[in-house]
Chain A
Amino acid sequence: MSEQTNTIGHAIDRVDGRLKVMGHAKYAAEFANTDVVHAVLVQSTIAAGTILAIDALVARSMPGVIDVITAENAEKLHKAPEIQQAISFPLLQSNEVLFNGQHIAIVVADSLQQAQEAAATVVVRYRPQDAVTSMEGRDGDQRKPSKKLNGKFEIDSATGDFSSAFEAAPVKISATYKTPVEHHNPMEPHATIAAWSGDKLKVWTATQGISGTQQTLAGFFGLAENDVTVICPFVGGGFGSKGNTWTPVTLAAMAARHVKRRVKLEITREQMFFSNGYRPQTRQALKLAADRDGKLLALRHDGVIATAMPGAGEFAEPVALISRMLYACPNISTSHRLIDINQSLPTYMRGPGEASGSFALESGMDELAVALDMDPVALRMRNLIDSDASEGKPFASKPLAECYTKAAEAFGWSRRTPAPRSMKNGRMLVGMGMATTSYPTNRMKASAEVAMLQDGTVIVRCGTQDLGTGTYTTMAQVAAAELGVSPDRVRVELGDSRLPKAPVSGGSMTTASVLPAVQEAATAVREALFDMALKAKGDQWHNLDRTALTLDNGAVVGPNSQLGITDLLAQASLPSLSRKVEATPSDEADTFSRHAFGAQFAEVHVDPDFGTVRVKRWVGAFDVGRVINAKTARSQLIGGIVFGIGMALMEETRTDRASGRFANANIADYLIPVSADIPDINTIFVETGDPITTRLGVKGIGELPTVGAAAAIANAVYHATGKRIRDLPIRLDKVMA
């Protein structure tokens, strides 16, 4: 195959880049804008209690207002399907209020402005109850999660005997780390346009999982799955917030059925803080013990996590999973406990579990290195392990040592002098810190269809999503490589529930799930073309070994001659040749523990007088398996680090204790990194492949670069200042305190 058709691993341009820079990529709110009426949500202003009455007389009388929907006149929905994506509260099915900001009414009007104005006039009378608005002081209410973590991991774990090992160990640390509520804040607010025709529902919605949305809506409205169509060709960022089918999606469909019109429901930036999950607040107690050479002897990680009141669902951030598998340690004990509070339901957010959990574990490892007077990289090297002790399985691949070495060298770690406050740049205190990252390599079954048209165009169809991760591009590359065409001859169709089914784009699993399906379907098309060519060439290619054939630029190429695909298909009177394949992970894969790894190195400058922390340099080396597209992969790694820098230094959603309301619910007061906060970022691919998970060797890299980032910065801040900050975000007041 020539270079031009096999672009696997190359840095080719994103195939949807042109559409995006021209403003022609269409997001959910931008479809079907004619003949659409607008819905606006009214939210509760108390955190707990009962709605006694909603007075919408004024709203209903205002110009353009079509109706106001409350629990009084809303349709009764069917029971939610038993899938994690189906969020069933609040859907106007009762008068119960479980959190402040809860959706309690929908105003539908001809224009958005009319709906907004009318919504502001709705008057609600409540019978308030005492609300739990913080996990502080609620330790007596700690409870076990009701389900396994992420659906499959034990809530608690114990190997060996932590207590006696910790007791007897010569060097130990014990500390508590805190992480705040953080919101995903993708730039595209969640939006849905819902249209009914008879008993068939079509929605254009911003989602990371079109199939989950389809199933959820079919369930709530008692429809067959095929009667619900979900369209989402572009997602303006998700980071976990668009993984579930949050209630505004269902509410939009309810409103559309209620007013018998096509309804658009775009939630506001402020409502994004109450409507689609967040990373929950955690408090994590960590104990580490080692011998004098730095060999870990005992590790204990206990997470206490805030979650919603049971009526609003349950989410348990699995913070301690990473402590079960990252290092060699004979005595490990972990636990997860929840505290219910009157807040909306938290959910997965980039690096769920690992991002918060690694802040504790990797800060703790740094504290242990200090206690041992040992280099932090050397400490981690000393505790490498080839197998996952928690699962009793070998790792499918684990080039972590190489990640440490490559990143340390590129970073210039050897120039670091270990003592805190020992490095300066002018007035600035210089700090260098590092941390390990790891995230599971997930894969689920996925289907794809690949078609070769007579004119040599290839069509790839798969009901997956592209959140900006490069899925359109990598799908085109894989099909092109198999079929000997240039990627620009491949047209990718995704984001439509009528396409072959694929899993939710979450858990960093899209590449590992979808590309094998595309590859297998394309291989099947190629083999079918070979069959046709062998038959057409008759005696000439008689007895030819098919491995002697290749597909290149629109022809089946054999020894001494070739056969154009156009002719081949025309002779067979086929306008196109297509194959559909469902690709499933192998049973063998289950006998391995599958994770990606990496090493994060950060340099910060801290102002000694003001406590301001600036990240000045970043080097990350990541076990990416195998890179499909060097350009989009690098972008994803950089983006994940930027996300982690935000987590470390700025992000925190604060709750007003009196009302239980998120107080900084806008994107000016909820700080996320801007361009001026982000230094040069050097990302290194460590490509040793993963032969177990997929034939392509890929590992998911969406979450990996966020994990460990906050600890790397906290460790760098300690090195710069001698101050250990165990409470995110690391703001100047904590540095100066």
Chain B
Amino acid sequence: MTDLNPTRRTVLCAVAGMSVLPDVPQNALAQTPPSHTALSVTLRINGADIARPIEVRTTLLEFLREQTALTGTKKGCDQGSCGACTVHIDGHRVVSCLTLAARCQGHEVTTIEGLAQGDVLHPMQAAFVAHDGMQCGYCTPGQVMSAVALVKEGHTGTDDEIREWMSGNLCRCGAYPNIVAAIRDVADHTPARG
């Protein structure tokens, strides 16, 4: 994941540095308006290649929500603090609001829409339904993506460990106990790694 490390913030700064920002309004018309190079990217999302022209500063979250129909990934804060936008990149969980779309080329992106096999829910999705690990459902895609990754990471030793490693995903409806129960259920039915 090292090549995904630059955050949106650092890249935004770089972009701002490169362009001419109109900080003196009265001279504005004489200045070159900032231009954000359009890039043509091809991202591999849920097993399909999606090619789009984008502005360099487009986050993966914006790419998914605004430039494709993949609105299952949610925007809760756009600042990396709520986890609603969690997706998998090469099987690892990341917050897509702090990930630049352009940096995802050559990687496998999986979103909530890519989890089920057709109509058959992923076991974690089924467990969330069975344990009612949701209310409004807005944090749910992010919770499910985090939960799937967490089981793979092996952080299900105790319920407290699950709680700790799920604490990057906020749920204002307070579905936490049911989410823990869903994860516990899946973990108990998942063969240990290795």
Partner of A666, one of B29, B79, B138: B79
With CB as the reference atom, state the residue of chain A lying closest to B59: A113
- Tell me, in angstroms, the Cα distance from A62 to B77 when the chains sit together: 26
Contact B176 A678 (CB under 8 A): yes
Partner of B76, one of A25, A187, A673: A187
Chain B residue numbers with a CB within 8 Å of A469 are 135
Contact A23 B113 (CB under 8 A): yes
Partner of A675, one of B72, B81, B176: B176
Chain B residue numbers with a CB within 8 Å of A112 are 62, 66
State which size class the interface on B falls in.
35 or more
- Tell me, in angstroms, the Cα distance from A113 to B144 when the chains sit together: 29
Chain A residue numbers with a CB within 8 Å of B163 are 675-676, 678
Partner of A468, one of B70, B76, B78, B137: B137
B36 to A: closest C-beta gap in Å: 7
Contact A674 B34 (CB under 8 A): no
- Tell me, in angstroms, the Cα distance from A142 to B144 when the chains sit together: 49
- Tell me, in angstroms, the Cα distance from A62 to B111 when the chains sit together: 34
Contact A674 B177 (CB under 8 A): no
- Tell me, in angstroms, the Cα distance from A268 to B76 when the chains sit together: 9
Q: Assess A22 versus B79: contact at CB under 8 Å? Given A631-B132, A674-B167.
A: no
B187 CB-CB contact with A under 8 Å = no
Chain A residue numbers with a CB within 8 Å of B130 are 13
A669 to B: closest C-beta gap in Å: 9
Stretch at the interface among A78-86, A96-104, A230-238: A230-238
A123 CB-CB contact with B under 8 Å = yes
Partner of B172, one of A13, A58, A61, A186: A186
A327 CB-CB contact with B under 8 Å = no
Chain A residue numbers with a CB within 8 Å of B121 are 18, 21-22
- Tell me, in angstroms, the Cα distance from A674 to B179 when the chains sit together: 12
B164 CB-CB contact with A under 8 Å = yes
B-contact bits for A1-41, CB 8 A (1 contact / 0 none): 00000000000011011111111111101100100000000
Q: Assess A20 versus B137: contact at CB under 8 Å? Given A14-B129, A58-B28, A667-B170.
A: yes
A582 CB-CB contact with B under 8 Å = no
* Number of chain A residues close to chain B: CB under 8 A: 70
A269 CB-CB contact with B under 8 Å = yes
Contact B177 A468 (CB under 8 A): no
A-B pairs with beta carbons under 8 A, tally: 213
- Tell me, in angstroms, the Cα distance from A13 to B84 when the chains sit together: 23
A672 CB-CB contact with B under 8 Å = yes
Tell me which residues from 146 to 194 in chain B have a Cβ below 8 Å from any Cβ of chain A. 160, 162-164, 166-180
Partner of B144, one of A21, A634, A676: A21
Tell me which residues from 637 to 676 in chain A have a Cβ below 8 Å from any Cβ of chain B. 638-643, 666-668, 672-676
B-contact bits for A181-215, CB 8 A (1 contact / 0 none): 00011111100000000000000000000000000
Chain A residue numbers with a CB within 8 Å of B28 are 57-58, 61, 121
A402 to B: closest C-beta gap in Å: 24
- Tell me, in angstroms, the Cα distance from A186 to B76 when the chains sit together: 9
With CB as the reference atom, state the residue of chain B lying closest to A643: B174
Q: Assess A17 versus B128: contact at CB under 8 Å? Given A635-B135, A638-B178, A676-B163.
A: yes
Tell me which residues from 145 to 191 in chain A have a Cβ below 8 Å from any Cβ of chain B. 184-189
Tell me which residues from 36 to 57 in chain A have a Cβ below 8 Å from any Cβ of chain B. 55, 57
- Apart from A113-B58, A632-B135, A673-B176, 16 more pairs, CB < 8 Å: A17-B132, A23-B112, A27-B71, A29-B65, A29-B71, A121-B21, A186-B138, A188-B74, A188-B76, A188-B136, A234-B137, A236-B138, A269-B77, A667-B76, A667-B81, A678-B177
23 A/B residue pairs, CB under 8 Å, sorted by A: A13-B132, A21-B126, A21-B128, A21-B140, A22-B72, A22-B112, A23-B73, A24-B72, A27-B138, A30-B71, A121-B28, A187-B138, A187-B171, A234-B138, A239-B172, A468-B173, A639-B174, A642-B176, A667-B76, A667-B82, A674-B167, A675-B163, A678-B163
By Cβ-Cβ distance, the 8 closest A-B pairs, closest first, are: A23-B72, A642-B174, A236-B138, A468-B136, A468-B135, A20-B137, A639-B174, A23-B112
